[in-house]
Amino acid sequence: MERTPITVSALNAYLKAKFDADRQLGDILLKAEVSNFKRNSSGHLYFSLKDENSQVSAVMFAGPAASLKFRPKDGDRVLVEGSVAIYVPYGQYQVYVRKMTDVGTGDLWLEYERLKQKLEAEGLFRPERKRPLPGFPKAVGVVTSPTGAAVRDVINIIGRRWPLARIIVYPTSVQGTEAKDSIVRAIAKANADARVDVLIVGRGGGSIEDLWPFNEEAVAYAIRDSKLPVVSAVGHETDFTIADFVADLRAPTPSGAAELVVPDRRALLDQLDVLARKLDYVLAKTLSAARDRLSSVASSYVFRTPERLLEKASVRLAHLDERLDLVRPDRLLADRKANLGHAETRLSSRFMAILAAAGYAYGRCAGRLELVNPLSIMTRGYAVIRKDGRIVRSVDELVQDDHLDVRLSDGSADCRVLAVRKGE
């Protein structure tokens, strides 16, 4: 009897086909505990599902894993829906998980959702309720366990960044049933302390049950009623508690909260340095601008040759001086005196000239008068004949027997016309 060998691949492929054909394996519901939990970089989850006696490999791909309502970890008791199939390269069968719920906390999640919706409806999460943190807190209150990692982280970070603030720890229990009342009391106590001006409320990482006090209604109201701004810092970055939604600011971790509540001293020293350098720079610029203005003014001609500034003025002054000189009273008087003297001289010389001229003219006139003096003419033998008082100049004025008065140089004679003869 001859048998034909088959390959490993053929065997695995055959089994895979058998598995895939099985209705039961195509849709199973499994109750188990998670162990060897790993999340790879693409978001796929690889883990084992086990009970007291047995275990099976499981994979949940990133797609369905995104809708998980909790963060699976080793030891979680879960309910799994999925299928069973052969992984051909390894010849291993595994559970392909479609849905997984946390059996241990299933009721808690329901409670979480219910409370979240209620408080949201009451307006506890509204953004306008969020108060700003003080920029430079004098004292930071920390509501947490005094023995946990959280308080150490907060002290270390504040001590490094801002040792100028005081830290006041308000100790509280942060897990277990008594924790919620303890947290509420600690928040109230911090609020009663006038020294504190910002509050960190939180704890380090843990299971959902460990973090549960921060999902309690009483804690949510205590945070709402706090007069001090509250920074919540519960667990890890992926943990969101009700306290985170109510708080004025949510920090991913207690360390993160410490960084949010205080400034960084080194950063401020750097900022001061920048400001001081800006001061120097701006003043230097202002001074050099002023210096430039000064030197441009100083190099103008009036400063290089200041006498030129006086030039115009001195010309004017000289001019004025001259004009003033002209109206000086003593000068005026002297001028007038001189003018007067001058006039006198001119007048007297003129007068003399007139006199001289007059004397000359008189001499000549006298001579000429002598020539026309009728008496002197008469002495030369001429007579003046008047008829009825009027001088006779023509024989036409005479008729025979006219009586005439004939005047000579030394007397006169009454005469009678004997005859008149014309043109002789």
Partner 1 sequence: MAQEQELKFEEALKRLETLVRELEQGDLPLETAVAKYNEGLALAKRCHDLLKQAEEVVVKIADGETLQDFPKQRE
Residue 227 contacts partner 1 per CB under 8 A: no
Write the interaction track for partner 1 spanning residues 271-290; mark x where CB under 8 A is met and - where it is not.
xx--xx-xx--xx-xxx-xx
Does 179 bind partner 1 (CB under 8 A)? Our answer is: no
The Cα 98–Cα 374 span in angstroms is: 182
Q: Whole-number minimum distance, CB 269 to partner 1, in Å?
A: 6
Per 3-state DSSP, what percentage of the chain is helix, strand, and coil (rounded to 5)?
Answer: 50, 20, 30
Structure tokens at 359: 């004397």
Task: Check binding of 269 to partner 1 (CB under 8 A).
Answer: yes
Distance CA(74)–CA(33), nearest Å, equals 8
Q: Minimum distance between the CB of residue 72 and partner 1, rounded to whole angstroms? A: 34
Report the alpha-carbon angle 151-220-206, nearest 5: 45
Q: Tell me which stretch binds partner 1 (CB under 8 A): 22-30, 165-173, 317-325, 333-341.
A: 165-173
**Choice from 11, 268, 315, 318 touching partner 1 (CB under 8 A):** 268
The smaller minimum CB distance to partner 1, of residues 95 and 157, is found at: 157
Residue 230 interacts with partner 1 (CB under 8 A)? no
Position 406 contacts partner 1 (CB under 8 A): no
Residue closer to partner 1 by CB (options 276, 413) is 276
Residue 116 · residue 245 · CB < 8 Å: yes
What does residue 116 show for φ and ψ, rounded to 5 degrees?
-60, -45
**CB of residue 136 to partner 1, shortest distance in Å:** 5
148 binds partner 1 (CB under 8 A): no
Task: Report the 10 Å Cβ neighbour count for 214.
Answer: 29
Residue 165 φ then ψ, to 5°: -90, 150
Residue 49 CB, shortest distance to partner 1, in Å, is 41
Rounded to a whole number of angstroms, the CA Rg of the chain reads 72
| Binding flag, residue 171, partner 1 (CB under 8 A) | yes
Q: Between vectors from CA 389 to CA 387 and to CA 394, what angle results, nearest 5°?
A: 40
* Gap between the Cα atoms of 290 and 304, Å rounded: 19
Q: Report the nearest approach of partner 1 to the CB of residue 151 (Å).
A: 8
Q: Report whether 229 contacts 105 (CB < 8 A).
A: no
- Residues in contact with partner 1 by CB under 8 A are 135-136, 138-139, 146, 152, 155-156, 158-159, 162-171, 189-190, 193, 195, 265, 268-269, 271-272, 275-276, 278-279, 282-283, 285-287, 289-290
